[in-house]
Amino acid sequence: MFSFFKDSIKKGNRVYLDHAGATPISESAIRALTSSLLLYGNPSAIHHEGDDASRVLDKARATCASVLNAHAYEIYFVGSGTESCNLAILGTVLGARDWGLGTSTIPHIITTAIEHPSVLEPIRKLEKEGKVHVTYLPVYEDGTVKLNDMRDALREETILVSVMYANNEIGTIQPVKEIGRLLDEWKSAHGRTHKEYPYFHIDACQAANYCNLDVVRLRAHLMTVNASKVYGPKGVALLYKKEGCRIEPGVLGGGQERGLRSGTESVALAYSFAVALTEAKDIHEEESKRLRELRDLCRDELVKVIPEVTVYGAFDTYKQQANSNQQMKEEKRLPNNINCRVPGIPSDEMILRLDAKGFAVSHKSACASSETDGSYVIEALGASKQEALENIRITLGRSTTRQDILALVQAMKHIYDSFAKK
């Protein structure tokens, strides 16, 4: 049985380019995981073995808090990014019951049309049940929301704004810092403190490798980060909850995670996650620069060899600095993301043909509801349903090289030429 696992992780000549779907676990995270697996005590127990486990769990919590510029008691470990997003959304709605809206007033949520299913699905369920009203903000051609649209959508009964930091399909980075400031200004004008509604939830799963996660700078009340996207283990994520925010628990039981998420914590997964998240922060500037160059190379070479290709989402721009002749780079897209369409070739056909040639790429979120549907994210940019069935997502990672990119482009060119001859 073990030989199967050894064989399954052998890379050979394969090139993995689906890091938005899942990242391989790093060597440092593996060491942290295997060493802490020896801690068999329940961290809630008061005996020596339980205390050993509790101290490592506390260390993991404090380490994650340091990366987010938060307090350790504001970090809650959960089982996945999906659970974290669900807890943030459903917990906020449940926590708002005693806010004083009145029995006839329905709470209001603002989100975007291109959020991950772990955000959209619980919101749609609440909406269908008549428990909330929802505004789904549109995105424009580059995949970003407009602050004016957000400002116009805010209401007295708005309790939650949920916007992803960076999109999992097209890599567009949303203006979350500006949204946080806008919400604070709106609350100030309406006589509310920064801790009052509406809360601001940021799904930072895709952004964690490459963007600043400082919750104070971003003015976040709630933030989701997933270990499996930062070269950590699967099965663990966190929810940051600002002190004083009222949300109700999603899992009831023994009251672990300070009552917000019952169930015995996985000390090993939490500690490995903390190590991976710290490593991601330590190398993010250098790695972002390296991947940005490879990303742009991939785009430029694809356009060169397949002129008909369409690349979706925003790309970095330059703007003039105030009172200076210097230009400043404005990051609008994750440095590792390319989402493109080769016309006439269905997504699954391109993915399978590339897989046969040794390249792993994807189409849309692995958590999307139906594999037969096109990407709703691509449709939100203005593409047709047919066009949304022909895009692929290429996401680079720490193992990606220049040679990998050039080989991928040639493989896509070969597939395109073979289709053109039919």
What are the catalytic residues? 367
Neighbours of 132 (CB within 10 A): 22
Which tokens in the block code for residue 93? 């709605």
Whole-number Å distance between alpha carbons of 332 and 174: 8
Count of CB atoms within 10 A of residue 98's CB? 8
The span from the CA of 224 to the CA of 419, in Å, is: 42
What is the C-alpha to C-alpha distance for residues 395 and 407, in angstroms, rounded to an integer? 15
DSSP string, 228-266: GGTT--SS-EEEEE-TT-----SB-SS-TGGGTB-S---
| d(C-alpha 394, C-alpha 190), whole Å | 44
Q: Which residues lie across from 133 on neighbouring strands?
A: 108
Write the CA distances from 94 to 87, 98, 102, 107, integer angstroms: 10, 9, 14, 10
- The beta-strand segments (E) located in 13-105 are 15-16, 75-78
CB–CB of 162/109 below 8 Å? yes
Torsion angle, alpha carbons of 379, 383, 389, 395, to 10: -80
Q: Are 414 and 407 in contact (CB under 8 A)?
A: no
**Are 55 and 41 within 8 A, CB to CB?**
no
Report how far residue 148's alpha carbon sits from residue 70's, in angstroms, rounded to the nearest whole number. 29
* CA dihedral sign of residues 239, 265, 118, 115: positive
